[in-house]
Amino acid sequence: MSGIEALDVLAEQFARLPGIGRKSAQRLAYAVLKYSPEEIAAFTSAMTEAKEKIHRCPICQNLTDREICPVCADQGRDRSVICVVEDARAVMAFERVRSFSGVYHVLHGLISPMSGVTPDALTLRELLARLEDTSIREVIVATGATTEGEATAMYIARLLSPLGVKVTRLAHGIPFGGELEYADEITLSRALEGRRDFE
């Protein structure tokens, strides 16, 4: 608390962001105060515009500023293989590797009883709707190798098992506890190549 209300309000806004503690939030609020009015306007309009322009792709649920995301719009991608990921950052990680030619399905979260995230909060309904298309051969469940990632993968495998579609998961090339977006490209490539059926 600085004793200056407008500054405390701004610091609180920064403190709400993930991974930003009280001290850091205060530091960031002071940094913003040093901005020119034009710099402030650039920051606030970047926020407003990102929110206005970006929405979920109606097919894969990934974030996009187009009607349909570039991956879903690309006629060269193999629509018979769907890679199910936690979030847009995981899609970016796979796209950087360039070894996956299928399409994605973005869950926008992982099941987490601890944080109160139930399966309803994920885009599983949309995934089931996509699987009504019988040309889909395989669903790769590519959630991270964390406790929540594994639990979500098991849940999806059980959910899809009555449909008769092949459900695979990433090989354990990813170190345990590792977040997907920090995996290096070789690890991620190998994890993709070595994917195996759910037992």
Binding site residues, its own copies, CB under 8 A: 2-7, 9-10, 12-13, 17-20, 23-24, 26-33, 35, 37, 40, 42-44, 46-54, 63-65, 70, 87-89, 92, 95, 181-182
Beta partners for 197?
168
What angle do the packed helices 185-193 and 88-97 form, to 10 degrees? 90
Q: Are 174 and 145 in contact (CB under 8 A)?
A: yes
Find the shortest distance in angstroms from Cβ 158 to its own copies. Answer: 27
Looking at the Cβ atoms of 34 and 113, the one nearer to its own copies is 34
Looking at the Cβ atoms of 65 and 193, the one nearer to its own copies is 65
Q: Are 101 and 44 in contact (CB under 8 A)?
A: no
Instruction: Classify 116 as helix, strand or coil.
Output: coil
Q: Are 156 and 84 in contact (CB under 8 A)?
A: yes
Looking at the Cβ atoms of 102 and 168, the one nearer to its own copies is 102
Of 196, 144, 140, 154, the C-alpha closest to 174 is 144
Looking at the Cβ atoms of 92 and 159, the one nearer to its own copies is 92
Find the shortest distance in angstroms from Cβ 5 to its own copies. Answer: 6
Find the shortest distance in angstroms from Cβ 86 to its own copies. Answer: 11
For 17-82, what is the HEC assignment? CCCCCHHHHHHHHHHHHCCCHHHHHHHHHHHHHHHHHCEECCCCCCEECCCCCHHHHCCCCEEEEE
Find the shortest distance in angstroms from Cβ 65 to its own copies. Answer: 5
Looking at the Cβ atoms of 109 and 195, the one nearer to its own copies is 109
Instruction: Classify 157 as helix, strand or coil.
Output: helix
Find the shortest distance in angstroms from Cβ 29 to its own copies. Answer: 7
